[in-house]
Amino acid sequence: MSNRASEQQAIRSYDRQRRLASTQIIVSAFMVILATIIIAFSSYAIIRPTIYTYLLDGVFVVCFCLYCTSFVIARRQNLSLASILTIASTDITIIVAALIWITLLSRQFGGNAQLNPVTFAQFTSLGVAIILAGVLGERWLVIATTILMNLTSLLFMGIIPIMSLQPLFAVLVIGQQWAFAAITLTVSRVYQSTLDELGRAYIQARKVDDLKDQFIANVNHELRTPVMTMQGYIELLRLTHAKLSTEQLSTSLEKASQSGQSLLALLNSILEVREIDQELPAFTPQVVGVREAVGRAKLLIDPREGNVSEHPLHLEISADLAVAGEPIRMQQILVNLLSNACKYSEPGTPIEVTGHVVAESAEKTFPLALNVARRYVVEIVVRDYGHGIPAEQISLLFNRFVRLPRDLASNISGNGLGLYLCRVYAESMGGRIWAESSGVEGDGTAFHLRLPGAFAGDDERESTLPRLRALPHSW
Amino acid sequence: MTSSEQMTIVIVEDNSSLLDFLHFAMEQLGNYTVYSAPDGVAGLEMVTLHRPQCVVIDVKMPGLDGHQLVRALRGDPSTATIPLIIMTAFAQDKDRFKGLASGADLFLTKPVMPQDLAAAIQQAITTSEEERSHRLKQLSEMPLETVTEEDS
């Protein structure tokens, strides 16, 4: 299932549960209210029995039964039928109550139907049906209910014999009902938008959680293998040392030691993340030459993590291009990006590293940048022509412990922390990092790293692209 | 078959350090001729070529994984009766069930000590044909979804 479909399903499921719960609560409350009205109205019908009172009382009882049915249907998870029944019952109840007042009760109490506060309250109560449609139903139901209430209001006004006030009152009532509808639709829209965002966040969190579980299983696997090799050699030496030659003893011990080192390296990388999560020390930005940093990173790649000599490396970086950052973090980012480019592409395919100055919009200006680099930043792009990354997995890359399912199933080693560290380091220097890939094998991936630049003075910077600051000889 | 008789075993494991160790350890601990294969496809070729008395198979391997290799060997009449041992770092019950359900005789969870592996090989080799058939029959009668659910 695609990410979007998965998000939509999660949102629909949540929204459905919310509507079902709302239906049950609202129906319960309305049943209590309607039961009270039925008791009151039945008492009145006993005192003044007419065919109208019996008829209307019967309508209330029918509506009460519809509420009961809605409640049962909602309990049985049939949302559409429960919502429609609830809204229909409410509409009928409200319209009938208004009708009773206008055609029957107001005549009995006041002699004839008047535009009095009770009548106005009856019209206002029609808005309840509109709000209820918004809470339980879809947008079209709100609009349909509003039109129904408009027509009902106009019908009632036709019954009330106060023609001189009708045009003004009609505008007032219908305007009020559309205001209810507008508010309901707005709230519904905002709610839906919030729900969409929550759905996306939920799916994202669930994916990260799944990947974390996979990572734990993977780490378990990765730990057991060097443990077995190390422990196995030690146990074998214990059992057979007497018959082994000096060379065999030496080789066995060396291999046990190598396995121990692998184990330690894995544990260190996990602990490193813990330390970074706790606190990343502050630093004073320094001028870091990009070309020199790339050259140094190339030399520092662990051969087990990627063999850079198997790939033609194309550099397109101006000799005086420099960033304002922390040299060690900058170096670690580049080592990670280059070793990934080696690991996830076939030997012989090129790796390109380009660096250039770009203008950033004001809102993206880095808060930690040196005060000489508020507008222009340095973008370093490390591009390979390897396996690529599926579009829906790109957003997960820079989280902790993330290894793509394809990589977990492959023989490519990794602990799922490299790109997370890149992001943390880039952000700590006031920069950012992202990846672009079509996901097509051979098209590869481009990692973009933007960092505050170390440029010449303010005056020149404002007029044209910046002149780059000369680097010290030590770089 | 007596214990003094030279036996041939094939070890299929993608981790080169561990493969070196297992090769070395089995040569030291038993009267074995050991052949090593770094992945499932090479393992299949090695078994077909050497007709070993036992095969030790890792699960997580590139290409043909351990379960697929076991099924391939069990599906071929010429290799169907060779004792197979699955040895993996996946340690949960579902992994054990999946390993045995695919047709392996024994399931070992890493880390495995060399003498334990030697004992397991000995046990697998001495398991009679009747015992193996009986166990496979029992596994085949288990609900299929229990296995396929994991596969999916």
* Blockwise average pLDDT, block size 10, chain B, 152 residues: 73 89 90 91 93 92 86 89 88 73 85 91 81 70 50 36
Of A220, A235, A410, the CB nearest to B89: A220
Burial of A185 (0-12, 13-18, 19+ CB in 10 A): middle
Helices B114-126 and A166-240, axial angle in degrees (round to 10): 90
DSSP 8-state secondary structure symbol assigned to residue A165: G
Are B24 and A252 inside 8 Å of each other by CB? yes
**What's the angle, vertex CA B38, arms to CA B76 and CA B68, rounded to 5?**
35
Residue A36, classed as helix, strand or coil, is: helix
The pLDDT value recorded for residue A468 is 41
ipTM above 0.95, yes or no: no
Burial of A5 (0-12, 13-18, 19+ CB in 10 A): exposed
Of B25, B60, B89, the CB nearest to A232: B25
- Kindly state the average pLDDT of the residues A103-127: 65
Residue A222, classed as helix, strand or coil, is: helix
pLDDT tens for each residue of A292-314: 999 888 887 766 666 777 888 89
In chain A, the largest separation of any two C-alpha atoms, in whole Å, equals: 121
pLDDT bin (cut points 50, 70, 90) of residue A38 is: confident
Q: To which H or E segment does residue B32 belong?
A: strand B32-37
pLDDT tens for each residue of A434-450: 999 988 888 889 999 99
- Kindly state the average pLDDT of the residues A416-425: 85
pLDDT tens for each residue of A193-245: 888 888 878 877 887 777 777 777 777 777 888 888 898 999 989 888 888 88
Residue A261: how many other CB atoms lie within 10 Å: 12
Whether chain A has a CB inside 8 Å of the CB on B60: the answer is yes
Question: How many contacts, defined by CB atoms under 8 Å, are there between A and B?
Answer: 71
Are B17 and A239 inside 8 Å of each other by CB? no
The pLDDT value recorded for residue A160 is 64
Give the closest residue to B59 by CA, choosing from B86, B29, B27, B96.
B86
Of B62, B109, B113, the CB nearest to A232: B113
pLDDT tens for each residue of A236-278: 898 888 888 888 888 889 888 888 887 887 787 777 766 666 6
The pLDDT value recorded for residue A136 is 83
The pLDDT value recorded for residue A302 is 67
Q: In angstroms, rounded to a whole number, what is the distance separating the alpha carbons of residues B19 and B34? A: 11
Question: Of the given ranges (A14-28, A176-190, A277-291, A319-333), which has the lowest mean pLDDT?
Answer: A277-291
> Are B72 and B44 in contact, with CB atoms under 8 Å apart?
yes
The pLDDT value recorded for residue A436 is 92
| Residues of A with Cβ-Cβ distance to B14 under 8 angstroms | 411
Q: In angstroms, rounded to a whole number, what is the distance separating the alpha carbons of residues A87 and A34? A: 14
| Residue in chain A nearest B116 by alpha carbon | A232
| Residue in chain B nearest A237 by alpha carbon | B25
Q: In angstroms, rounded to a whole number, what is the distance separating the alpha carbons of residues A74 and A31? A: 14
- What one-character-per-residue DSSP string does B87-142 give? EES--SHHHHHHHHHTT-SEEEESS--HHHHHHHHHHHHHS-HHHHHHHHHHHHTS
Q: In angstroms, rounded to a whole number, what is the distance separating the alpha carbons of residues A76 and B52? A: 62
Are B114 and A255 inside 8 Å of each other by CB? no
| Residues of A with Cβ-Cβ distance to B61 under 8 angstroms | 411
Residue B111, classed as helix, strand or coil, is: coil
Distance of CA A195 to the CA centre of its chain: 10
Q: In angstroms, rounded to a whole number, what is the distance separating the alpha carbons of residues A94 and A97? A: 5
Burial of A1 (0-12, 13-18, 19+ CB in 10 A): exposed
B111 preceded by a cis bond (ω within 30 of 0): yes
The pLDDT value recorded for residue A265 is 75
Side-chain half-sphere exposure of A278, counting CA atoms within 13 A = 4
DSSP 8-state secondary structure symbol assigned to residue A468: B
Are B89 and A232 inside 8 Å of each other by CB? no
Side-chain half-sphere exposure of A276, counting CA atoms within 13 A = 19
| Residue in chain A nearest B17 by alpha carbon | A229
Are B28 and A240 inside 8 Å of each other by CB? yes
Q: In angstroms, rounded to a whole number, what is the distance separating the alpha carbons of residues A383 and A344? A: 11
| Residue in chain A nearest B61 by alpha carbon | A411
pTM beyond cutoff 0.95: no
Residue of higher predicted confidence among A402 and A71: A71
